[in-house]
Amino acid sequence: MTLSSTLELVIHRKGTTRFIAADPTQITLLHRTEEIIDGTKRFNDAVARMPQTFKVIWQGDNGVVREGTPDGGVRRFDFVLVGEYDATVAINDFWKVGEQTFVIRYVYPDNGYEVKAGGVSHGASPTPA
């Protein structure tokens, strides 16, 4: 790593720290794995990760990606989590707030200065995490 890239990495990491600190959310992700047995997908027991601080970004102006059904069904909310460069997140990790579950569906490639992941939640509103 050259001096300029090391310096750039430090600057980006500080920027990420400040970005998260402006609107932090502490989340304890639950990690679960899935397996397919006889054609049926099954999730294994969830194991709690250490609490971590993220910035939660709701996609769209109010978080709503898909409105509910005409009879008042649930709506889908997409979100992006931004964490420090050493945060631990994996696909299928999740957390709950009340009855609402937030599930990680994808993780962005590692860039060395932040961990970024996206996911979905279904419910009546994007419950504050």
CA-based nearest residue to 92, from 102, 100, 80: 102
Checking if the pLDDT of 63 tops 90, the result is no
The alpha carbon torsion through 119, 125, 126, 129 (nearest 10 deg) reads -120
> What are residue 75's DSSP bridge partners?
123
Quick: pLDDT tens for 66-113: 555 665 566 778 899 999 999 999 999 999 988 888 999 999 999 999
Query: Given the structure tokens 């909310």, which residue do they identify?
Result: 77
pTM for the model:
0.81
Q: Do 86 and 111 touch, CB atoms closer than 8 A? A: no
Residue 123 and residue 83: Cα distance in Å, rounded?
Answer: 24
For residue 34, what pLDDT is reported?
80
Quick: pLDDT tens for 8-56: 999 999 999 999 999 999 999 999 888 888 888 887 878 899 999 999 9
Domains and CATH numbers, the chain: 3-123 (2.40.10)
